Homo-oligomer: A and B are copies of this chain.
Amino acid sequence: MKSPVRKESCHDPRTVVQPDKGALIRRLNRIEGQVRGVNKMVSEDRYCVDILNQVAALQSALDAVAMLLLESHTHGCMQGAIKSGNGDEAIDELMAVVRKFAR
C-alpha cells in the first residue's frame, strides 16, 4: 500500500505550511548540531578524514531535507499551479531547482 501523498497547503501570497513542519524543523535542528560538531572537530585538530566523514553525513542529511521539500512542493504548490493554468511557469521554476540538485 502506498503512503498517503503529503502535500503542502499553498496560499497567496506564497506562504506554505510544510507537511510535518515540526519534524522538518527537528531535522534542521539536528543538522545545525552536526555543523557545530564539524566546527568543533576542526578546532580540536581532529584527523581530517574523520572530519570529512562527518561532512559527508551532513550532506546526506541535507539531501534528505531537500528531497522532502521537493516532494511536498511538487505534490502541493506545483500541482496546484498546473491545475490553475500556470503550469509552464511552475515547471520552469521546478526545473531550475532540480538542476541545482542534479549532479
Of all A-B residue pairs in the complex, the 4 with the closest CB atoms, nearest first, are: A103-B103, A56-B100, A28-B39, A14-B47
Known pairs A35-B31, A39-B29, A101-B56; A8 contacts B48 (CB<8 A):
yes
Main SS class of interface, A: helix
| In the complex, chain B residues whose CB is within 8 Å of the CB of A88 | 5, 75, 79
Q: Which residues of A contact B (CB under 8 A)?
A: 2, 5, 8, 14-18, 21, 24-25, 28-29, 31-32, 35-36, 38-39, 42-49, 51-53, 55-56, 58-59, 62-63, 65-67, 69-79, 82-83, 87-88, 91-95, 97-103
Which of A18, A29, A72 has its CB near the most chain B CB atoms (within 10 A)?
Answer: A18
